[in-house]
Chain A
Amino acid sequence: MPDTKRQPKQRSLPEAGQMADRVAPFALIVGIVLTTVGFFLAFFYAAPVNGAEVYARDAAGNILRDSAGNALPALEEIGGQLVSNVLLISQKIFYFHMPVALVSFLALAVAAFYCVRFLMTKQQRYDTCARISMEIALVFVICTMITGEMWTRFEWGVWWTWEPRLTTYLILMLVVIAYFVLRNALDDPERCATYAAVVGIIAFVDVPICFMITRLVPSSVHPVVLREGGMSADMGITLVLVLIGMLCVAFALYRMRFRQVRMQERVEALKAALDEE
């Protein structure tokens, strides 16, 4: 079986062992370095987020008030800055939660792209790429749910709340799991690939719609909590670093898995050819 199918006026199919694979180990190392740097930055460089306001107290511990009866905010100097709020460090999870979530959605987008290519060309190779992208999406969605769960548990004190972000990630996870359940339930490879491709495309279109709808539908019980203001520069840098790092890690994982699946496919083809003789 030829390694790359070259057809006139068409792109060649993705294959293992090419340029992308030579880049992959470097990408892995870059990714690990960047995420580690991001980790340290998150804890030592980015400013902690402010929580509730803290009030000034006298020696006995009673809250000081001004002439109008309002509580006076406390002002403590920490690290050269005046602080008057509770400092939260549970928000540090956010620096990894957001990149992982973005990467999982990106993996879903890549899977949808390969699904479209498969439906257009009916080449099995694209179906393989789509399946592997979905696996990467699943891995990163699980990471998202774990980090999101830990963050929610501490921040809000509950294990789950039906807010837009969490709900959309849950739907994303269910949809990716449904993709794999469907693949398992079908035997005929061509039919399996076609149906899976269709479901992949629908899933990719559905997730942003889900996010928009859960965010825009007004609900008295679960108000959408928007973090106030934008991010300061130090938080932004940390976030971008971890994001690029995670992207590199995801890319490296994808190439590694792709290489393994291609090798498996080639061995199966050899076995079949040998059996026929």
Chain B
Amino acid sequence: MATPSTFRQYKTLLVKDVRQEFRTKEMLTSMGIYALLVLIVYGAALAQTSNQLDILQMSGGLLWALIVFTSLLGLNRSFFAEKEQGCIEGILLAPLDRSVLFLAKATSNLLFLIIIEVIAVPLFWFFFLTTTTPAETFPLMVVPLIVGTIGVAGVGTLLSTITMNTRGKDVMLAVLFIPLIFPLLYACVSATTAVLVGGDTALNTFMLSLVLAAGYDIIMVLLSWVLYDFVISA
């Protein structure tokens, strides 16, 4: 029997992950509630600021901090189901190219993160930004969100596969993830803030930061893809 094509394998794995998640919605609800809780913490943190505070300048950073923390939660649980049921060994026994596993898992993580962002960003606006008017370039905010989330999902999938087998899984993932994702975070915050605040140089800053973030994505996700084989076989 011929092995199914790579795309078929990828699609099957992806559909499996998505279907399983939508059956229980466990991860999505926990990530969503976590995002809401972080927003409430932000509320307490910013409660004492005066009306003079330009919340627009901070909102890019706050939003991306929210995304990083929520994604840490989601990534920790990405292999949870497979590990618990011993499914990993089963998948590894099948004659799959191991990198397909990476692509499928990264794509499913990406999808879940985007769903959470679709919920979290309007919530953020609701809680903090209704008193101000963002610049009219703000719909462009979607682009750095997507570019950043791709990087987060790619690198995060590799790192969560590594930390799945260590002691102290969650903290280990955070310790590895945050320094490595820092450049992407920096670039995406810059791009998001540029389109939220606006101004003369905003579009230039936006384009430059986005190009840098895309460069990071390409290099790091490619590297993760190549290295994934070693990681999952260990």
Given contacts A195-B231, A201-B223, A205-B223, contact A213 B180 (CB under 8 A): no
B78 close to A (CB within 8 Å) = no
Q: Are B220 and A206 in contact (CB under 8 A)?
A: yes
Name which of A167, A171, A178 has the most chain B CB atoms within 10 A of its CB: A178
Contacts of A199 in B (CB 8 A): 162, 176
Q: Are A219 and B227 in contact (CB under 8 A)?
A: no
Q: Are A216 and B165 in contact (CB under 8 A)?
A: no
How many Å lie between the Cα of A197 and that of B230 in the bound state? 10
- Neighbour of B234 across the interface among A175, A178, A191, A209, CB < 8 A: A191
Q: How large is the interface on A (under 10, 10 to 19, 20 to 34, 35 or more residues)?
A: 20 to 34
Contacts of A213 in B (CB 8 A): 183-184, 186-187, 212-213, 216
Interface of chain B residues 211 through 234 with chain A (CB within 8 A) = 212-213, 215-216, 219-220, 223-224, 227, 230-231, 234
Interface segment among B9-17, B82-90, B133-141, B166-174: the answer is B166-174
How many Å lie between the Cα of A177 and that of B175 in the bound state? 9
A147 close to B (CB within 8 Å) = no
Name which of A190, A203, A206 has the most chain B CB atoms within 10 A of its CB: A206
Pull 10 A–B residue pairs with CB atoms less than 8 Å apart, ordered by A. Answer: A178-B179, A182-B162, A186-B166, A198-B162, A202-B224, A202-B227, A206-B183, A209-B220, A212-B183, A214-B186
> Apart from A212-B212, A214-B186, what are 18 other A-B pairs with CB-CB below 8 Å?
A119-B227, A171-B182, A175-B179, A182-B175, A186-B166, A186-B167, A191-B165, A195-B231, A201-B223, A202-B224, A203-B180, A206-B220, A209-B183, A209-B215, A209-B220, A210-B183, A217-B186, A218-B208
Binding site for A on B (CB under 8 A): 155, 158, 162-163, 165-168, 172, 175-176, 178-180, 182-184, 186-187, 190, 201, 204-205, 208-209, 212-213, 215-216, 219-220, 223-224, 227, 230-231, 234
